[in-house]
């Protein structure tokens, strides 16, 4: 089968603190500490076989390119990837996956060949302290498709049944092509859902929400905030085209921060002006640029405000703790989408949210590397790879 494969050089940075397990297995919890000079190529690989009785063989139909994929493509001045997340190479990338069931193992009961499905990419252990505490998204023993387990940018892939979610309800409302594309969009949307509603506890109807970063996760945050009853939804990005999409998906107004700066205006000023000086009840950092965005969040916190970190940034950033103390604000870190995929599928199937406008380009598998290069320009919202046309 045809697949995208990422290879790279294992070269731990001087002073990096890798465990013996990481060093022996050539994998890193923080890829930016160990992997250099990544190479993305289209290759032939053996087709996967069903091994476990609960395995599901899936024909990939739509796979989204995420900002984390781009961070595995881009490098710093020393050639190290920018992604501060667990990675093992070589690897088939792709964790925003929808496809069609081809074959199932004897212990599979909930899906059958021909069914449209989305794939929950994190395979958690169920045994560690995090899993037992109900925080499986933070499992220390997890295998994660597209990061340390082969993902969906291939013609075929294997998933356990427990990680497969039916898209039958979506198919009742949409065409086949739209069903698979919506399925792929459910992954970034569920990342936003988990951070905003499961980790941070959500918002009350009538709240003011500010979303910083209008990539797919940020755009999904805009749509979810509107669906949850926010009275004011403001969005900020460096791309005017992404700002237009944010307004299409539910933002009352979206601002190009580059244009704001040229006028001597800061995002915090805009938020305060649009909330009668009260500030944002929830601020979502979805750009992976906390160093630049935190001062704007800290300058526009509502009393009791919530800050949700969904973007990934490898370096440390300063935080003005007194701003949070004075406003009684809380900070919520979140990663992954455990617990969010089913409600997001339901929201899309019901029509309460419709994320299809965020798809701005589609590529076949043979041109997937070009697609990732395009994604690195950060002008598109969501680029999809269609591995089987």
Catalytic residue annotation: 68, 71
* Bridge partner residues of 122 (DSSP): 144
CB 251 within 8 A of CB 211: yes
CA 355 from chain centre, in angstroms, equals 14
The half-sphere exposure of 149 on its side-chain side, counting CA atoms within 13 A, is 16
In angstroms, the CA 12 to CA 82 distance is: 14
Distance CA 186, CA 178 (A): 12
Give the chain's largest Cα–Cα span: 64
Question: What gap in Å lies between CA 210 and CA 93, rounded to an integer?
Answer: 31
Kindly give, in sequence order, each residue whose CB lies less than 8 Å from that of residue 385, ignoring residues fewer than 6 positions away.
Answer: 4, 62, 63, 64, 65, 94, 153, 362, 363, 364, 365, 368, 371
């Amino acid at each position: 089968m045809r697949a995208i494969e990422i290879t790279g050089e294992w070269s731990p940075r001087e002073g990096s603190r890798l465990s013996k397990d990481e060093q022996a297995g050539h994998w890193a919890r923080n890829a930016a500490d160990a992997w250099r000079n990544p190479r993305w190529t289209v290759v032939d690989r053996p087709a996967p076989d069903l091994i476990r009785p609960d395995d599901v063989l899936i024909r990939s139909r739509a796979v989204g390119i995420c900002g984390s994929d781009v961070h595995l493509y881009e490098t710093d001045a020393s050639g190290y990837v920018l992604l501060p997340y667990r990675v093992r190479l070589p690897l088939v990338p792709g964790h925003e996956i929808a496809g069609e069931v081809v074959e199932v193992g004897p212990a599979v009961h909930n899906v059958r060949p021909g069914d449209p499905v989305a794939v929950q990419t994190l395979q958690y252990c169920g045994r560690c302290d995090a899993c037992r505490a109900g925080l499986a998204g933070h499992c220390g023993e997890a295998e994660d498709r597209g990061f340390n387990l082969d993902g969906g940018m291939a013609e075929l892939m294997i998933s356990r049944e427990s990680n497969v979610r039916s898209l039958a309800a979506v198919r009742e409302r949409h065409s086949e092509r739209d069903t698979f594309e919506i399925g792929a969009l459910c992954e970034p949307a569920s990342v936003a859902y988990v951070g905003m509603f499961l980790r941070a506890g959500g918002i009350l109807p009538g709240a003011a929400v500010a979303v910083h970063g209008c990539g797919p996760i940020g755009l999904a945050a805009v749509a979810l905030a509107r669906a949850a009853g926010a009275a004011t939804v403001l969005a900020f990005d460096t791309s005017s085209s992404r700002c237009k999409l944010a307004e299409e998906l539910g933002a009352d107004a979206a601002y190009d921060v580059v244009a704001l700066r040229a006028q001597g205006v800061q995002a915090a000023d805009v938020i305060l002006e649009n909330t009668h000086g009260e500030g944002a009840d929830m601020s979502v950092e979805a750009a992976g640029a906390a160093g630049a965005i935190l001062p704007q969040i800290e300058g526009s916190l509502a009393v009791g405000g919530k800050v949700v970190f969904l973007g990934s940034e490898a370096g440390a950033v300063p935080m003005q703790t007194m701003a949070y103390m004075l406003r009684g604000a809380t900070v919520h870190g979140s990663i992954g989408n455990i617990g969010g995929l089913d409600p997001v599928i339901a929201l899309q199937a019901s029509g309460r949210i419709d994320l299809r406008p965020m798809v701005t380009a589609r590529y076949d598998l043979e041109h997937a590397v070009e697609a990732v290069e395009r994604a690195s320009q950060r002008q598109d919202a969501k680029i999809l790879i269609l591995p089987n046309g």
